Amino acid sequence: MERTQSIQKAIDFEKLHSNFFILPNAWDAASAKIFEQCGFKALGTTSAGIAASYGYADRSMPFDTMLDAVRNIVHAVDIPVTVDIEDGYGETPEDAAEAVKKVITAGAVGINLEDSTMDPQKPLQDISFQQKKIDAIRELGERLGIPVFINARTDPYWIKLETPFNKLDETIKRAHAYQEAGADCIFVPGIKTLTDIRTLRQEINAPINVLAAPGLPSAHELEALGIQRISTGSGPYRAVLSFLQSIGQEMLERGIFEPVTSTSKITYDDLLRL
Protein backbone atom coordinates (compact mmCIF):
# COMPACT_ATOMS: atom_id res chain seq x y z
CA MET A 1 0.00 0.00 0.00
CA GLU A 2 1.32 3.44 -0.92
CA ARG A 3 2.41 5.63 1.97
CA THR A 4 0.08 8.49 1.07
CA GLN A 5 -2.85 6.08 0.93
CA SER A 6 -1.95 4.65 4.35
CA ILE A 7 -1.74 8.11 5.86
CA GLN A 8 -5.09 9.14 4.38
CA LYS A 9 -6.77 6.00 5.70
CA ALA A 10 -5.32 6.68 9.15
CA ILE A 11 -6.65 10.24 9.04
CA ASP A 12 -10.07 9.03 7.88
CA PHE A 13 -10.18 6.47 10.67
CA GLU A 14 -9.33 9.04 13.32
CA LYS A 15 -12.05 11.36 12.00
CA LEU A 16 -14.68 8.64 12.47
CA HIS A 17 -14.20 9.07 16.22
CA SER A 18 -15.57 12.61 16.03
CA ASN A 19 -19.01 11.00 15.85
CA PHE A 20 -20.65 7.69 16.70
CA PHE A 21 -19.95 4.60 14.59
CA ILE A 22 -20.07 0.81 14.74
CA LEU A 23 -16.87 -1.13 14.07
CA PRO A 24 -17.36 -4.81 13.10
CA ASN A 25 -14.53 -7.26 13.64
CA ALA A 26 -13.43 -9.53 10.80
CA TRP A 27 -11.38 -12.72 10.90
CA ASP A 28 -10.55 -13.28 7.21
CA ALA A 29 -10.75 -11.65 3.79
CA ALA A 30 -14.31 -12.83 3.08
CA SER A 31 -15.77 -11.56 6.36
CA ALA A 32 -13.94 -8.25 5.86
CA LYS A 33 -15.36 -7.88 2.35
CA ILE A 34 -18.89 -8.67 3.54
CA PHE A 35 -18.66 -5.97 6.21
CA GLU A 36 -17.39 -3.48 3.64
CA GLN A 37 -20.27 -4.35 1.30
CA CYS A 38 -22.70 -3.80 4.16
CA GLY A 39 -21.55 -0.19 4.24
CA PHE A 40 -19.28 -0.02 7.29
CA LYS A 41 -16.72 2.77 7.09
CA ALA A 42 -13.95 0.82 8.85
CA LEU A 43 -13.39 -2.54 10.48
CA GLY A 44 -11.27 -4.20 13.12
CA THR A 45 -9.86 -7.67 13.47
CA THR A 46 -10.79 -10.18 16.16
CA SER A 47 -7.80 -11.96 17.66
CA ALA A 48 -10.05 -14.72 19.03
CA GLY A 49 -11.74 -15.22 15.66
CA ILE A 50 -8.49 -15.30 13.71
CA ALA A 51 -6.89 -17.63 16.25
CA ALA A 52 -9.80 -20.07 16.19
CA SER A 53 -9.95 -20.05 12.38
CA TYR A 54 -6.30 -21.17 12.39
CA GLY A 55 -6.81 -23.75 15.13
CA TYR A 56 -5.45 -21.80 18.11
CA ALA A 57 -6.94 -20.59 21.37
CA ASP A 58 -7.03 -16.83 21.87
CA ARG A 59 -3.71 -15.40 23.12
CA SER A 60 -1.81 -18.48 21.86
CA MET A 61 -1.64 -17.73 18.14
CA PRO A 62 1.84 -17.08 16.68
CA PHE A 63 2.34 -13.48 15.65
CA ASP A 64 3.27 -14.37 12.06
CA THR A 65 -0.01 -16.27 11.68
CA MET A 66 -1.95 -13.22 12.84
CA LEU A 67 0.07 -11.01 10.52
CA ASP A 68 -0.75 -13.18 7.50
CA ALA A 69 -4.45 -12.85 8.32
CA VAL A 70 -4.08 -9.07 8.66
CA ARG A 71 -2.46 -8.81 5.23
CA ASN A 72 -5.31 -10.79 3.68
CA ILE A 73 -7.92 -8.62 5.37
CA VAL A 74 -6.24 -5.31 4.48
CA HIS A 75 -5.79 -6.30 0.84
CA ALA A 76 -9.43 -7.41 0.56
CA VAL A 77 -10.98 -4.04 1.42
CA ASP A 78 -10.57 -0.34 0.71
CA ILE A 79 -11.73 0.87 4.14
CA PRO A 80 -9.42 1.42 7.14
CA VAL A 81 -8.50 -1.62 9.25
CA THR A 82 -7.44 -1.59 12.90
CA VAL A 83 -5.79 -4.67 14.41
CA ASP A 84 -6.21 -6.44 17.73
CA ILE A 85 -2.63 -7.09 18.84
CA GLU A 86 -3.68 -8.57 22.20
CA ASP A 87 -1.06 -7.52 24.78
CA GLY A 88 1.57 -6.58 22.19
CA TYR A 89 3.08 -9.98 21.36
CA GLY A 90 6.16 -9.63 23.52
CA GLU A 91 7.64 -8.99 26.92
CA THR A 92 8.78 -5.40 26.46
CA PRO A 93 7.44 -2.07 25.17
CA GLU A 94 9.92 -2.42 22.31
CA ASP A 95 8.37 -5.78 21.38
CA ALA A 96 4.94 -4.17 21.24
CA ALA A 97 6.24 -1.32 19.07
CA GLU A 98 7.87 -3.81 16.69
CA ALA A 99 4.60 -5.75 16.38
CA VAL A 100 2.75 -2.52 15.61
CA LYS A 101 5.37 -1.57 13.02
CA LYS A 102 4.68 -4.82 11.17
CA VAL A 103 0.89 -4.49 11.20
CA ILE A 104 1.12 -0.86 10.06
CA THR A 105 3.53 -1.88 7.30
CA ALA A 106 0.94 -4.49 6.31
CA GLY A 107 -1.53 -1.65 5.77
CA ALA A 108 -3.42 -1.31 9.07
CA VAL A 109 -4.12 2.13 10.54
CA GLY A 110 -4.48 1.37 14.25
CA ILE A 111 -4.33 -1.18 17.02
CA ASN A 112 -6.04 -2.44 20.16
CA LEU A 113 -3.69 -3.01 23.08
CA GLU A 114 -5.09 -4.78 26.14
CA ASP A 115 -3.87 -4.67 29.74
CA SER A 116 -5.02 -8.09 31.00
CA THR A 117 -2.28 -10.66 31.54
CA MET A 118 -3.99 -14.10 31.65
CA ASP A 119 -2.21 -14.57 35.00
CA PRO A 120 -4.72 -15.32 37.82
CA GLN A 121 -2.25 -14.01 40.40
CA LYS A 122 -1.84 -10.68 38.58
CA PRO A 123 -4.68 -10.36 36.05
CA LEU A 124 -4.03 -6.72 35.15
CA GLN A 125 -0.77 -5.34 33.84
CA ASP A 126 1.07 -2.75 35.90
CA ILE A 127 -0.18 0.69 34.83
CA SER A 128 3.25 2.25 34.41
CA PHE A 129 4.43 -0.66 32.27
CA GLN A 130 1.34 -0.37 30.07
CA GLN A 131 2.02 3.34 29.73
CA LYS A 132 5.51 2.53 28.45
CA LYS A 133 4.03 0.27 25.79
CA ILE A 134 1.64 2.99 24.64
CA ASP A 135 4.42 5.57 24.66
CA ALA A 136 6.65 3.28 22.55
CA ILE A 137 3.85 2.79 20.02
CA ARG A 138 3.17 6.53 19.88
CA GLU A 139 6.86 7.22 19.25
CA LEU A 140 6.86 4.60 16.51
CA GLY A 141 3.97 6.32 14.74
CA GLU A 142 5.83 9.61 14.86
CA ARG A 143 8.94 7.99 13.36
CA LEU A 144 6.89 6.37 10.60
CA GLY A 145 5.03 9.59 9.93
CA ILE A 146 1.72 7.74 10.17
CA PRO A 147 -0.86 8.68 12.85
CA VAL A 148 -1.25 5.20 14.34
CA PHE A 149 -4.58 5.10 16.19
CA ILE A 150 -4.08 3.56 19.64
CA ASN A 151 -7.17 2.01 21.20
CA ALA A 152 -6.12 1.29 24.78
CA ARG A 153 -8.18 -1.57 26.14
CA THR A 154 -8.54 -1.83 29.90
CA ASP A 155 -10.07 -4.95 31.40
CA PRO A 156 -11.34 -4.42 34.97
CA TYR A 157 -14.87 -5.30 33.78
CA TRP A 158 -13.64 -8.19 31.66
CA ILE A 159 -11.52 -10.23 34.04
CA LYS A 160 -12.87 -12.53 36.75
CA LEU A 161 -11.49 -11.96 40.24
CA GLU A 162 -12.18 -13.80 43.48
CA THR A 163 -11.58 -10.60 45.44
CA PRO A 164 -14.11 -7.87 44.53
CA PHE A 165 -12.81 -4.41 43.66
CA ASN A 166 -14.27 -1.20 42.27
CA LYS A 167 -14.22 -1.86 38.55
CA LEU A 168 -15.35 1.62 37.57
CA ASP A 169 -12.75 3.44 39.68
CA GLU A 170 -9.99 1.17 38.40
CA THR A 171 -11.13 1.67 34.82
CA ILE A 172 -11.16 5.45 35.15
CA LYS A 173 -7.72 5.46 36.78
CA ARG A 174 -6.25 3.36 33.99
CA ALA A 175 -8.03 5.33 31.28
CA HIS A 176 -6.49 8.57 32.50
CA ALA A 177 -3.03 6.98 32.65
CA TYR A 178 -3.28 5.51 29.17
CA GLN A 179 -4.57 8.73 27.68
CA GLU A 180 -1.69 10.58 29.32
CA ALA A 181 0.71 8.12 27.68
CA GLY A 182 -0.72 8.82 24.22
CA ALA A 183 -3.78 6.61 23.74
CA ASP A 184 -6.35 7.98 21.29
CA CYS A 185 -9.36 6.00 22.51
CA ILE A 186 -10.26 4.01 25.63
CA PHE A 187 -11.80 0.56 25.13
CA VAL A 188 -13.74 -0.94 28.05
CA PRO A 189 -15.12 -4.40 27.22
CA GLY A 190 -17.64 -5.76 29.70
CA ILE A 191 -19.11 -2.45 30.87
CA LYS A 192 -22.91 -2.55 30.43
CA THR A 193 -24.94 -0.43 32.80
CA LEU A 194 -26.07 3.03 31.75
CA THR A 195 -24.99 4.40 35.12
CA ASP A 196 -21.41 3.18 34.78
CA ILE A 197 -21.17 4.17 31.12
CA ARG A 198 -22.49 7.64 31.90
CA THR A 199 -19.94 8.11 34.69
CA LEU A 200 -17.16 6.83 32.44
CA ARG A 201 -18.17 9.35 29.78
CA GLN A 202 -18.17 12.17 32.32
CA GLU A 203 -14.72 11.28 33.67
CA ILE A 204 -12.88 10.66 30.38
CA ASN A 205 -12.33 13.28 27.71
CA ALA A 206 -11.13 10.83 25.04
CA PRO A 207 -13.27 8.77 22.63
CA ILE A 208 -14.71 5.66 24.29
CA ASN A 209 -15.15 2.22 22.73
CA VAL A 210 -17.52 -0.37 24.24
CA LEU A 211 -18.12 -3.96 23.22
CA ALA A 212 -21.40 -5.28 21.83
CA ALA A 213 -22.71 -7.86 24.30
CA PRO A 214 -25.97 -9.07 25.87
CA GLY A 215 -27.33 -6.41 28.20
CA LEU A 216 -25.51 -3.50 26.56
CA PRO A 217 -27.72 -0.44 26.00
CA SER A 218 -28.87 0.17 22.44
CA ALA A 219 -26.71 1.97 19.91
CA HIS A 220 -29.07 4.97 20.06
CA GLU A 221 -28.73 5.20 23.85
CA LEU A 222 -24.95 4.94 23.67
CA GLU A 223 -24.74 7.56 20.97
CA ALA A 224 -26.88 9.88 23.09
CA LEU A 225 -24.48 9.35 26.01
CA GLY A 226 -21.55 10.43 23.84
CA ILE A 227 -19.96 7.04 23.20
CA GLN A 228 -18.02 7.13 19.93
CA ARG A 229 -17.52 3.48 19.03
CA ILE A 230 -19.11 0.08 19.47
CA SER A 231 -17.06 -2.91 18.33
CA THR A 232 -18.23 -6.50 18.03
CA GLY A 233 -15.18 -8.54 19.05
CA SER A 234 -15.50 -12.23 18.28
CA GLY A 235 -19.31 -12.00 18.31
CA PRO A 236 -19.84 -12.24 14.53
CA TYR A 237 -17.41 -15.15 14.25
CA ARG A 238 -19.14 -17.01 17.07
CA ALA A 239 -22.51 -16.30 15.46
CA VAL A 240 -21.30 -17.84 12.20
CA LEU A 241 -20.03 -20.91 14.05
CA SER A 242 -23.32 -21.17 15.90
CA PHE A 243 -25.20 -21.16 12.59
CA LEU A 244 -22.80 -23.75 11.19
CA GLN A 245 -23.42 -25.94 14.23
CA SER A 246 -27.16 -25.57 13.76
CA ILE A 247 -27.20 -26.53 10.08
CA GLY A 248 -24.80 -29.40 10.77
CA GLN A 249 -27.17 -30.82 13.35
CA GLU A 250 -30.13 -30.34 10.98
CA MET A 251 -28.35 -32.27 8.25
CA LEU A 252 -27.17 -35.09 10.48
CA GLU A 253 -30.19 -35.53 12.74
CA ARG A 254 -33.09 -34.63 10.44
CA GLY A 255 -31.66 -34.93 6.96
CA ILE A 256 -32.62 -31.32 6.23
CA PHE A 257 -30.46 -29.38 3.75
CA GLU A 258 -32.68 -26.32 3.24
CA PRO A 259 -30.42 -23.84 5.09
CA VAL A 260 -27.47 -24.91 2.94
CA THR A 261 -29.15 -25.25 -0.44
CA SER A 262 -31.96 -22.70 -0.56
CA THR A 263 -31.89 -20.01 2.13
CA SER A 264 -28.34 -18.71 1.74
CA LYS A 265 -28.40 -15.10 0.55
CA ILE A 266 -24.90 -15.42 -0.87
CA THR A 267 -24.82 -17.42 -4.09
CA TYR A 268 -21.83 -19.19 -5.56
CA ASP A 269 -21.44 -16.34 -8.06
CA ASP A 270 -21.56 -13.84 -5.19
CA LEU A 271 -18.78 -15.78 -3.51
CA LEU A 272 -16.64 -15.58 -6.63
CA ARG A 273 -17.18 -11.82 -6.80
CA LEU A 274 -15.93 -11.34 -3.24
**Whole-angstrom distance, CA of residue 192 vs CA of residue 154:** 14
> Taking all residues of the chain, what is their mean pLDDT, rounded to a whole number?
95
Going from N- to C-terminal start, the domains of the chain cover: 1-234
pLDDT at 127: 98
pLDDT at 274: 84
The per-residue pLDDT for range 188-218, each reduced to its tens digit, is: 999 999 999 999 999 999 999 999 999 999 9
Distances (CA, A) of 135 to 40, 142, 179: 30, 11, 10
Q: Model pTM greater than 0.75?
A: yes
Mean predicted confidence (pLDDT) in 215-230 = 98
The residue among 105 and 268 whose pLDDT is bigger is 105
The per-residue pLDDT for range 62-111, each reduced to its tens digit, is: 999 999 999 999 999 999 999 999 999 999 999 999 999 999 999 999 99
Going by CATH, does the domain composed of 1-234 fall within 3.40.50.12780? no
pLDDT at 61: 96
In this structure, what is the dihedral angle of CA atoms 158, 162, 168, 174, given to the nearest 10 degrees? Answer: -70
Residue 267 clears pLDDT 90, i.e. is over it:
no
pLDDT at 162: 60
Provide the pLDDT confidence category of residue 241 given band limits of 50, 70 and 90.
very high
Q: Is the dihedral angle over the CA atoms 194, 196, 202, 208 positive or is it negative? A: negative
Amino acid at 7: I
